[in-house]
Structure 1
Amino acid sequence: MSNAAIKLLIAASGTGGHVFPAIAVAQKLSGYQIEWLGVPDRLESKLVPKEYPLHIIRVGGFQGKFGLGTLKTLGGLFASVFQVRKLLKQGKFDAVFSTGGYISAPAILAGYSLGLPVFLHESNAIPGKVTRWLSPFCTKVAVGFVATSKYLTRAKTIYLGTPCRQEFLTSQPLDLPIPDRSPLIVVVGGSQGAVALNQMIVECVQSWLDTGATIVHIVGGANMPANKIEHPRYIVLPFYDNMAGLLQRANLAICRAGAATLNELMITRTPSILIPYPFAAEDHQYYNANVLASAHGALLFRQENLTAQFLTLEVLNLLQNPQRLETMASNTSSLGVINSADLLADAIGESVKARIAARQPAQSVNGNQS
């Protein structure tokens, strides 16, 4: 069966942690007919329509204790399952691929109900609720960390790492005024809970600048520090598109611990200080960060236990010990899977073709999908 004969629905929505790995895999599925499933007004609305037809549904997540809100969410889920099921049947799709999150629930259930191959990727060390609940209905579940499989004992898991955007795999030039011999510290506040971290960084900056370091501080959206320091080697930006080039040049990163961020650190060999977002669902950022910290590729600190004075000294100690930074870089790199997108695309292709081949005799007798 040729790739051109395979029609795939990709369900990936919300944050870059879900959307970017899915795009990386889609780019490797040469010749496939790919369409996308998303929700209104999220990242996929900006990125996906340029390349793939986008179908929009409304689906929410389960938050807090059981109550009327839960019943409303369940009602919405059932409605979205039937909506996706109709899409899959009318579009004559052959398979479903999702990268987790709320959007994956109706995609998995609809695909499973039609007997389609369903492939799921989980990038976090601790699987999300949807992955834990629905992974048994998937043909295979690819995981970004080895340890994730122990939480999915009822699923068929395979460790393939997390796909990374193509630009992280090749050297990227920078357009920022960073002196050649200046150590570069990259701080990524992130869009969630960035205010506290950004303000702490501002208290540390002057001591780091005094060593000759350059700091690029990505504050995220409207989280600009109130008392910003003016210095040619302290560059403050709300966002920056070329994160690949920035991390490739960085001597040290200070950031949150979303799975996509950590994967980018692993691919670019960037030592890091990780400060997980303290209100992340099920504290999953802490468990992500602990994978790198346990491998001695990063330092891990809880935000509530961290002070500006302590962080200042930790960074100064690292800057004064280049060999330690190089060891951390090597340890971080050992956790990354550079060809993850290729491996995942191959695994999807093999599973889809095997399931289609197995169903063909039955289809020739019984007609179309039920």
Structure 2
Amino acid sequence: MSKTETIVFTGGGTAGHVVVNLALMPEFIEEGYDIHYIGSYEGIERELIEGMNGVTYHGIATGKLRRYMSLENMKDPFRVFKGLLQARKLLKKLKPKIVFSKGGFVSVPVVMASRLTGVPSIIHESDYTPGLANKIASNFAKHVLTTFPETDNHLPEKKAVNIGAIVRNELFEGDPDKAAQFTGLSKDQPTLLVMGGSAGAQSINQAVREALPQLLKHYQVIHLCGKGKYDDQVKQPGYVQYEYVTDELKDLLALSDLVVSRAGANSIFEFLALRKPMLLIPLSKQASRGDQILNAESFKKRGYADLLEDESVKAPTLIEAVNQLYSQKEQYHENMTSYQPKQTKEDVINMIIRTMK
């Protein structure tokens, strides 16, 4: 494949708006495509992408698409317009065959610029209902790929394509021996992995730490508490905490028997692909648009997960829910066996290739 054929990826704001791109880009790099990534100047996408072999990162100005009143809302249209001009200039220079967007506010000017420059674009929407950024960007895209079948009802009929979740290959290569060495924990005891997202979740963190005396009677606990949320006062045998991990996550998942997590779509489909029974604690409607609640309810309905509302997260309710999940783990494993994640990734790659100019 000639290196003159270029693909631009975009998406950012949270790790969830990057991980799908991280799963796809190596496949195209291996085939010889010239891969570029357009993100914000200082977002988490820059941290995750910059320095990745075979990918050139470009930062642009971006606003935040807020649903609440803020003085910053007056400045954001100018930032978005500046980002649009920057993205248009980049696309004219790079001349990509296609733009692939995972969403997030930084992706809006990039997808808009793709329409202005005549470059086809594809959006992937992970959540049950489209986020605001993808709702706007879908007007300028050729296709919108969805993870949940129900999402198609919220998008233009001719653009929506239900394709499923894209899972990174490396997640299937996790090594429990490496995780045991990394954490100092045993491979022979039930292990609970707690994840609150890249920014952490204070309600989950507090409940887990208060529940440790009871949890540690039955489980080892690996706690990914979020940046700035590490508590060096909490040290107990069988409990380890990290602000955030990257390459080690696949090994930690391989060691873990259960997962407690927020309900971001990318993460929960990864747990599903790995057959990990999960207790989902979605962001409340007071803290989000409610997408995680719908994600979690869908998974509970299908028998993939149990659900605990954020407002109900206390040490006693967490302990009870974790114990119930563990007692039914074999049933959860059986429910998950019908899900086949690897074919979805191939389908997305084929669609990107077919859509190229």
Normalization by structure 1: what TM-score?
0.86
State the Cα distance separating 1:68 from its structure 2 match.
6.0
Q: How many residues align?
A: 347
AA matched with 1:256: R
User: Max radius of gyration: which structure?
Assistant: 1
Matches of 2:194 and 2:11 in 1, distance apart?
27
Aligned partner of 1:238 in structure 2 is 243
- 1:161-207 deviation line (CA, Å, top 9, x unaligned): 23222310224242233333311111123343522211111222222
Aligned partner of 1:275 in structure 2 is 281
Partner residue of 1:344 out of 323, 329, 348: 348
1:263–1:280 CA distance, 2 compared to 1 (3 A):
farther
Q: SS at 1:282's partner residue?
A: coil
Partner residue of 1:152 out of 151, 155, 177: 155
Matches of 2:34 and 2:187 in 1, distance apart?
45
Aligned partner of 2:130 in structure 1 is 127
The answer to whether 1:328 aligns with 2:335 is: no
Matches of 2:205 and 2:137 in 1, distance apart?
37
Q: SS at 1:285's partner residue?
A: helix
Aligned partner of 1:47 in structure 2 is 48
Q: SS at 2:165's partner residue?
A: coil
State the Cα distance separating 1:16 from its structure 2 match.
1.8
Matches of 1:166 and 1:318 in 2, distance apart?
27
Q: SS at 2:353's partner residue?
A: helix
1:87–1:26 CA distance, 2 compared to 1 (3 A):
same
Partner residue of 2:217 out of 210, 223, 239: 210
Aligned partner of 2:302 in structure 1 is 295
What does 1:163-242 correspond to in 2, within 5 Å?
163-172=166-175, 173-174=178-179, 175=181, 176-192=183-199, 194-211=201-218, 213-225=219-231, 228-231=234-237, 233-241=238-246, 242=248
1:126–1:3 CA distance, 2 compared to 1 (3 A):
farther
State the Cα distance separating 1:107 from its structure 2 match.
1.1
The answer to whether 1:9 aligns with 2:8 is: yes
When structure 1 is superposed on structure 2, of 197-206 and 40-49 the one drifting more is 40-49
Q: RMSD across aligned C-alpha pairs, in angstroms?
A: 2.2
CA contact (8 A) 1:193 1:277 kept: no
Matches of 1:326 and 1:42 in 2, distance apart?
40
Q: SS at 1:186's partner residue?
A: strand
Q: SS at 2:16's partner residue?
A: helix
- 1:107-149 deviation line (CA, Å, top 9, x unaligned): 1111112222111111111210121223132111111222211
After TM superposition, the runs of 4+ consecutive aligned structure 1 residues lying more than 6 A away are none
CA contact (8 A) 1:161 1:340 kept: yes
Q: SS at 2:89's partner residue?
A: helix
1:23–1:314 CA distance, 2 compared to 1 (3 A):
closer
Q: SS at 1:204's partner residue?
A: helix
Partner residue of 2:77 out of 74, 78, 82: 74
AA matched with 1:259: A
CA contact (8 A) 2:200 2:224 kept: no
State the Cα distance separating 1:226 from its structure 2 match.
7.3
CA contact (8 A) 2:17 2:102 kept: yes
Q: Unaligned 5+ residue runs, structure 2?
A: none
The answer to whether 1:25 aligns with 2:52 is: no
AA matched with 1:238: E
Normalization by structure 2: what TM-score?
0.89
CA contact (8 A) 1:8 1:34 kept: yes
State the Cα distance separating 1:101 from its structure 2 match.
0.8
Aligned partner of 1:366 in structure 2 is none
State the Cα distance separating 1:71 from its structure 2 match.
4.1
State the Cα distance separating 1:220 from its structure 2 match.
1.8
What does 1:83-94 correspond to in 2, within 5 Å?
83-94=86-97
- 1:274-299 deviation line (CA, Å, top 9, x unaligned): 11122543122212222211111111
AA matched with 1:15: T
AA matched with 2:193: V
AA matched with 1:166: N
1:33–1:22 CA distance, 2 compared to 1 (3 A):
same
AA matched with 1:49: E
State the Cα distance separating 1:208 from its structure 2 match.
2.4
Q: SS at 1:53's partner residue?
A: strand
CA contact (8 A) 1:202 1:229 kept: no
Aligned partner of 1:368 in structure 2 is none
The answer to whether 1:100 aligns with 2:103 is: yes
1:74–1:305 CA distance, 2 compared to 1 (3 A):
same
What does 1:240-259 correspond to in 2, within 5 Å?
240-241=245-246, 242-259=248-265
State the Cα distance separating 1:259 from its structure 2 match.
2.0
Q: Unaligned 5+ residue runs, structure 1?
A: 357-370
CA contact (8 A) 2:279 2:325 kept: no
Matches of 1:55 and 1:35 in 2, distance apart?
7
Matches of 1:169 and 1:3 in 2, distance apart?
30
